[in-house]
Amino acid sequence: MFSTETFMVLVPALPLAAALFVGLFGFKLLKERSHIPVIAALATSFLLSLFLFGAVQSETSQKRAGASVGVEKLVRLWTWADLNDAYRLGEGEQAAQRPFSIDVTLRADPLTAIMLSMVTLISLLVAVYSVGYMHGDPGYPRFFAYVSLFVFSMTMLVSVSNFVLLFVFWEAVGLCSYLLIGYWYEKPEAAAAGKKAFLVNRIGDFGFALGMFLIWTTYGTLDFHDVGPGGELVSATSPDEGGQVAVQGVLGQSRLEDPAKGYVGGGVALAICLCLVAGACGKSAQFPLHVWLPDAMEGPTPVSALIHAATMVTAGVYMCTRCTPLFAASPEAQAVLAVVGGFTALLAALIALTQNDLKRVMAYSTISQLGYMFLGVGTGLLAGIGAGMFHLFTHAFFKALLFLASGSVMHAMGGIIDMRRFGGLRRIMPWTHLTFLAGCLALCGVFPFAGFYSKDAILAAAHDRGHDDLVLLAGTSLQFSLYTVLYYAGMFTAFLTAVYTFRAYFMTFHGETRIPPEAGHHAHESPRSMVVPLAILAVFALGVGMVVTYYTDIFANFLHHTPSLAFSGLAAESHGEGGHLQVEALSTVLALAGIGAAAYLFLGERRQVEELSLWMRAVRLYRLSFYQLSYNKFFIDQIYNALIVAPLRLLANISNWFDEKAIDGLVNLVGRVPPAFGAMLRPLQNGLVQFYALAMMLGLVVLIGTLLMWPAS
Amino acid sequence: MDEVQLLHRFLLVGALLFAIGLVGFLSRRNMIVMFLAAEMMLQGVSVSLVGWGRFHNDWGGQILVIFILAVAACEAGIALALVLMLFHRSGRLDVAVWQSIRESNQPKFVDQQLPEEPLTIEHWPVLPHAGVQPELPAEEMIHRSHV
């Protein structure tokens, strides 16, 4: 009953049960109490996740040091789509009838355990916060049902051990995201934002699906784990005990033992990885598919915090981390991943500089931070991947905190989120102010708060990788490395991060107290159910980096026991610790400089803002000042509109015209034939009784005549 | 007169009655007359039934005719009641009044007007007034002018 396997099933099952219960009975029975089952389920899930975490950790600590075998626990629920003779494309001997089945199998390994604990904790805090934030909303039960459904999907996403199921829950979180962005569906912007998020994600998912097909063609299975000859599961720890492997899982231990033999390289690996990167870009809002995330802020703020900052958008990072062995087989794909991440981080930070909508600043900040994570995973170093996951972990706390604090501001300001319309709120909302400040410090990476450790770890990994990859530029004596460029881009982004974060902070909480008229008499501190989660998150945001770095070995040692990360090819590349003092010093100095710049510009009378915007207006790029570019998000939405939306709309209009005129015309033509015949007979019904009598008589004459004339048979 | 000849005469009378009734039914527009014509067709058939009954030396035909008479009486009651209702509605007995049962887009049947006879104005000798002119009601004056 209280086995690890039961916990693995219960963690996703409880939110699902709560979602169904609230969805079915919320409106009739629970009404204003709808949060109770959801919060109870999430709290239980969180505790179970912690137990699971402990169980996995105790297992890792038993491993001998330096062993390149990961730790995983598997539990199979049932087998879905069991086909014995699926056809597998391929050349020569590879093309064959292969058995195809989808194991509905849950896994517990360090990566999953970390993700589960993080997801359930954040969602629990967000659910508690929502009790205050969503109070009085007519769709209150619906909101909690969706949130619970989302937590189910997300926990399944990180638990499943199969690419098809990963895809299924990948879509399920997308669905929940769509439902929650369009939660206030009467509002046209919210409905449009939901649609946009869904459609942009489809592009990425298309890539993911293609990648999945390629994996099936290349590796002949979609399971992560190895399967024995009798169909039994073979977990990573089993081969030591002599388990037989019949079907080598894509990320199974039997392949990982010898990566050079287990994984194909070259073009196929590159194609698989690029398809997966496309999927990750869609879900994690990376350039060029980042456009949906800022619009997704139309949803309720707790949703922005939970789904669009802390959990769902990190699914791409999770997936890339999970698929590390595939990426390790293709350094080019890793470079693409790192470039996408680094570029997105910089781009989003530049856009965030000039946005006036508090939540939108946070949205671009999220995109930027996700870019960091991709950069970290893209370095391909064990330290870098660990750092990416570490940043994912810390970012979840401080970004959820920042969003919830923004929501608290929005709540108090009567739905106004434009930073130009309020100011000096630190006197009205002391708790929100302090927690927001904590989130800002963590986000900027000020020593010793959370962001400092994780961001510096990523930058250090990029620095290391750049150091390794130095090549001499042809014809010059300059040394060049892609990763060095990305390292400097990341450094500059760190500076920008500090500027835009503290710009938002100073504009909102400092200066003279200004309250928009929409706030009415509501301009006060938020209720306790909102402030308590903020305080808890603030503690995490400030302390989690330090605690994790100095007091536990979650990311330094524990995470590396994930099977995908514990193989020899990767472990060999990892560097020893230490020697990154210069990176840390530089980034701290940059962060403080950014804060100082923001303070100089946005504290006080803001006279300097004019200077800055003049300066930014002066920097021109072909008739467009830098300020305009940033304020208009580099016109990416407009470019997409012109290049993709407008031609598609034209095509749709043409198709519509063809459908209405040509096809409907043809159908209507057929439809007009019976009435035409009817029209020919219609004069018979002329309403004259005598005529009817005559017709009857003539008919009788014809009948009798025929009867008489008929040859007797 | 043998039985076959007798039968022929019965049938001839029956057919004549039926044909006259049919022509009357088709050509007249007065509902009561149409009803009478229909009765006539019925009686034509009854006569032929009686004839056949006699020919076959079977009372069945006669019995059937008695039934027909009874049924026709009922039918007459109902039919006259309906005619009366229709008359109450329109004030006319013309069946063509009820041609609105036709298809909606069919043209209305309009009676062709007979060419008008030229009204010949007759001149009456006008005598000079003598004595007192008797007072006559206005209605009677109208009649007088045509007499």
Q: What is the DSSP string of B11-57?
A: HHHHHHHHHHHHHHHHH--BHHHHHHHHHHHHHHHHHHHHHHHHHTT
Task: Give A271: exposed, middle or buried? Use CB within 10 Å, 0-12, 13-18, 19+.
Answer: middle
- Reading chain B (147 residues) residue by residue, the pLDDT tens digits are 788 999 999 999 999 999 999 999 999 989 999 999 999 999 999 999 999 999 999 999 999 999 999 999 999 999 999 999 999 998 888 888 888 878 887 888 888 888 887 777 777 777 777 777 777 777 777 766 555
pLDDT for residue A616 is more than 70: no
Does residue B61 lie in a domain region?
A: yes
Q: Domain limits at B46?
A: 3-98
For A694, name the nearest residue in chain B, comparing CA atoms only.
B26
Residue A140, Cβ neighbours under 10 Å: how many?
Answer: 22
Does residue B112 lie in a domain region?
A: no
pLDDT for residue A177 is more than 60: yes
pLDDT for residue A403 is more than 80: yes
B contacts of A693 (beta carbons < 8 Å): 25-26
Chain-chain contact of B25 with A693 (C-beta, under 8 angstroms): yes
Q: What's the mean pLDDT when you consider all of chain A?
A: 84
- Confirm or reject contact between A678 and chain B (CB < 8 A): no
Chain-chain contact of B106 with A689 (C-beta, under 8 angstroms): no
In this complex, the residue of A685, A693, A697 whose CB is nearest that of residue B102 is A685
Could you tell me the pLDDT band of residue A135, with boundaries at 50, 70 and 90?
confident
Does residue B108 lie in a domain region?
A: no
Chain-chain contact of B106 with A683 (C-beta, under 8 angstroms): yes
For B31, name the nearest residue in chain A, comparing CA atoms only.
A689
Say how far apart CA A234 and CA A230 lie, in whole Å: 10
**Using one digit for the tens of pLDDT, what is the confidence trace for A444-501?**
888 778 888 888 888 888 888 877 766 666 566 666 778 888 888 898 999 999 989 9
- Confirm or reject contact between A704 and chain B (CB < 8 A): no
- Confirm or reject contact between B105 and chain A (CB < 8 A): yes
Question: How many structural domains are present in chain B?
Answer: 1
Question: Which regions of A300-397 does DSSP assign to beta strands (E)?
Answer: none
In this complex, the residue of B27, B98, B102 whose CB is nearest that of residue A686 is B102
pLDDT for residue A665 is more than 60: yes
Q: What is the pTM of this model?
A: 0.78
Does residue B116 lie in a domain region?
A: no
Extract the tokens encoding A622.
């072909």
Say how far apart CA A42 and CA A587 lie, in whole Å: 37
In this complex, the residue of B26, B100, B105 whose CB is nearest that of residue A694 is B26
**Using one digit for the tens of pLDDT, what is the confidence trace for A20-48?**
999 998 888 877 888 899 999 999 999 99
Chain-chain contact of A693 with B100 (C-beta, under 8 angstroms): no
Say how far apart CA B29 and CA B27 lie, in whole Å: 7
pLDDT for residue A241 is more than 60: no
- Confirm or reject contact between B109 and chain A (CB < 8 A): yes
**Using one digit for the tens of pLDDT, what is the confidence trace for A88-119?**
666 655 566 777 888 888 988 888 999 999 99
Rounded average pLDDT over A212-237: 81
Give the per-residue pLDDT at B52.
93
Q: Pick from A83-87, A211-215, A460-464 the range whose average pLDDT is largest.
A: A211-215
ipTM of the complex model: 0.75
Say how far apart CA A183 and CA A338 lie, in whole Å: 34
Does residue B80 lie in a domain region?
A: yes
Does residue B88 lie in a domain region?
A: yes
Which secondary structure element, helix H or strand E, spans residue A227, and what is its range?
strand A226-227
B contacts of A694 (beta carbons < 8 Å): 26
Rounded average pLDDT over A55-72: 72
Could you tell me which of A114, A120, A117 has the C-alpha nearest to residue A42? A120
pLDDT > 70: percent of chain A = 88
Contact, A617 vs A625, CB < 8 A? yes
pLDDT for residue A700 is more than 80: yes
Give the per-residue pLDDT at A546.
81
Give the per-residue pLDDT at A384.
85
Query: Could you tell me which residues come within 8 angstroms of residue A280 by beta carbon, excluding any fewer than 6 positions away?
Result: A204, A208, A286, A315, A316, A317, A319, A320, A337, A374
Contact, A328 vs A250, CB < 8 A? no
Give the per-residue pLDDT at B97.
85
The domain spanning residue B41 has which CATH number? 1.10.287.3510
Instruction: Name the minimum distance, in Å, from the CA of B88 to any CA of chain A.
Output: 19
Does residue B28 lie in a domain region?
A: yes
Could you tell me which of A514, A557, A213 has the C-alpha nearest to residue A389? A557
Chain-chain contact of B95 with A682 (C-beta, under 8 angstroms): no
Chain-chain contact of A694 with B109 (C-beta, under 8 angstroms): no
Cα–Cα distances (Å) from A151 to A12, A25, A112, A487, in that order, read 7, 19, 14, 35
- Confirm or reject contact between B104 and chain A (CB < 8 A): no
Instruction: Name the minimum distance, in Å, from the CA of B67 to any CA of chain A.
Output: 24
- Confirm or reject contact between B113 and chain A (CB < 8 A): no
Rounded average pLDDT over A587-608: 78
**Is the CA virtual torsion A577, A578, A579, A583 positive or negative?**
positive
Say how far apart CA B39 and CA A337 lie, in whole Å: 101
How many residues does the structure list for chain A?
Answer: 713
Chain-chain contact of A687 with B27 (C-beta, under 8 angstroms): no
Say how far apart CA A564 and CA A71 lie, in whole Å: 10
For A692, name the nearest residue in chain B, comparing CA atoms only.
B26
Q: Which of A680, A685, A689 to mutate to test the interface with B (most CBs of B within 10 A)?
A: A689
Chain-chain contact of B106 with A682 (C-beta, under 8 angstroms): yes
A-proximal residues of B, 27-46, CB under 8 Å: 27, 29, 34
Does residue B31 lie in a domain region?
A: yes
CA A343 to chain centre: 18
Using omega within 30 degrees of 0 as the cis cutoff, is the peptide bond preceding A448 cis? Answer: yes
Chain-chain contact of A682 with B105 (C-beta, under 8 angstroms): yes
Q: Which of B103, B105, B106, B110 to mutate to test the interface with A (most CBs of A within 10 A)?
A: B103
